[in-house]
Amino acid sequence: MFCPYCANLLVVEPASQGMRFACKTCPYEHKILKKIKKTTPLEQKKVDDVLGDSFANASMTDVIGGCPKCGHPKAYFFSIQIRSADEPATRFYRCARGAECTYTWKEDN
């Protein structure tokens, strides 16, 4: 709640009988007569595909050990700099099996 006179945020503090909203800027006070409760359901944010269409023009390579999920021996790959400039680029892979497996992973350094 906000103060109707100076528009500052009201704080909740103890009063002689119960609690009250009080303004820290002006002398405005408002007695709290009943319990105030507001619940807001949590809406989970949609997870964005941060790699997007990065694999659209990616090269294909043989993967040692194959795809970690399905074992397919080939994957598309590309490298991007996600850490500081003095660190090596991170290489991302996506299984080349097609619609059956689109598992994406990054190279362990």
For the annotated binding site for Zn(2+), the residues are 3, 6, 23, 26, 67, 70, 95, 101
How far apart are the C-alpha atoms of 94 and 78, rounded to whole Å?
9
Residue 104 amino acid letter: T
What is residue 48's DSSP assignment? P
| Range 66-96 burial, b when 16+ CB lie within 10 A, else e | ebeeeebeebbbbeeeeeeeeeeeeebbbbb
Binding site, annotated residues: 3, 6, 23, 26, 67, 70, 95, 101
